[in-house]
Amino acid sequence: MSRTIEPSSNTPLDSVESIVAGFRERDYVCDRSLATAVFLALRLDRPLLLEGEAGVGKTELAKVLAASLGTRLIRLQCYEGLDVNAAVYEWNYPRQMLEIRLLEARGQADRANAHDIFGPDFLIRRPLLQALEADPDGEPPVLLIDEIDRADEEFEAYLLEILSDFQVTVPEIGTIKAARPPRVILTSNRTREVHDALKRRCLYHWIDYPTAQKEFEIVLARVPDAPEQLAREVVAFVHRLREADLTKVPGIAETLDWAAALLSLGSRELTGEVVDETLGVVLKYEEDIRRIRGDTARSYLQEAGATA
C-alpha cells in the first residue's frame, strides 16, 4: 500500500487531538492511544518502537508522520548482515582513486595529505548519517528504521549507540552529532524479540487490528471510490477471517488491497463466487485458501451480512 503522501499544510502536532486530526487529514486513521504514544515520542525526543502483526500500518505511520511534520522521511530497511557501510557511511573509493591520479597528473601529489582524500566530499552518506546531518535550522527528519527484527544483533548493538547519543564517529573526520535529533520510528514484526537495552531507549506501542468501525473508516479513506456497502461487507468478512483458525490472518493492508481489487473488478457487493475468485488477495497460504473457499466463505458471508 505504498503511495506518495503530499506534505501539504503542516498542522502543528502539539497535542494528542491534533495528531489524530493531522493523521486523519492524510487518510491515516489512528486511535488515541497510538496518537498519545506518537505525541510523547515527539515531545520527549524519544524513538518510538512500533510492533504489531504484518500489515497494520507501522511503516505507513512513519510516512504520515513525516508528511504531517512537513519534513523528509529517511528510511533504513533492515536485513541480516546490515553493516556500517550500508547503514551509516562509506568512503567513495573510486572517487578517491581518481583524485589521487588527478593530483599526480598535476604534480601535486606530494603536497596532498590524507585530509584531502578522506574528507566530507568523499563520504557516501547512508541513511543514518543523512538523518544526523540534516539541516540544523529546519524541522528534523523522520528516520524510519524498518523491521529492526530482521537485522542481526550486532547491528542492534550499534544502533543502540546512535539512538542514545545521536552521534556517529568517522575516524578520519571526527564525530558528527545531530544538531537536533531526528524523529525515530522503529518497527518490528517480532520474528525475534528486540533486545531489552534497545527497548529501554524507546517508547513502545503495540498496534492492534482496528475495530470494524475503524477499519471501515480506513477503507473509505484509502479506497475512496469503494461504495459503502462493499466496504462494510469486506471489513465484516475480514473481521470474521481474523477470528478463524488460519496460518496467517489478513492485515489492514490486505483489506485495502481486497477492496481495491473488488472495485477494479467492478463488483458492487460480495458474493460467494467473487470471494472464491479473489481470496488470494486476502489469504496468502494455500492451506488457508483451501479451507475458506467454498462453503466456509459462504457461511462467513451470511454472518457478515447479518452484522454489516
Residues that bind other proteins in the complex, under the rule CB under 8 A: 16, 32-34, 36-37, 39-41, 43-44, 46, 48, 51, 79-81, 83, 85, 90-91, 93-94, 96-97, 100-101, 104, 109, 117, 152, 154, 190-193, 196, 199-200, 203-206, 247, 285-288, 290-291
Identify any residues that bridge with 205 across adjacent strands, giving them in sequence order. 50
Give the amino acid at 83: D
| Residue 88, Ramachandran bin (φ over 0: left; ψ between -120 and 50: alpha; else beta) | alpha
CA neighbours within 13 Å on the CB side: how many for 34? 23
CA neighbours within 13 Å on the CB side: how many for 308? 23
Q: Minimal distance in Å, beta carbon 19 to other proteins?
A: 11
Q: Minimal distance in Å, beta carbon 135 to other proteins?
A: 26
Tell me the backbone φ, ψ of residue 253, rounded to 5 degrees. -55, -40
- Residue with Cβ nearer other proteins (207 or 261): 207
- Residue with Cβ nearer other proteins (5 or 54): 54
Residue carrying C-alpha cell 458492487: 268
The answer to whether the CB of 166 falls within 8 A of the CB of 208 is: no
- Residue with Cβ nearer other proteins (128 or 231): 128
Q: Minimal distance in Å, beta carbon 199 to other proteins?
A: 4
- Residue with Cβ nearer other proteins (39 or 258): 39
Report d(CA 186, CA 79) in Å as an integer.
14
- Residue with Cβ nearer other proteins (6 or 196): 196
Strands 89-91 and 123-125 turn out to be antiparallel
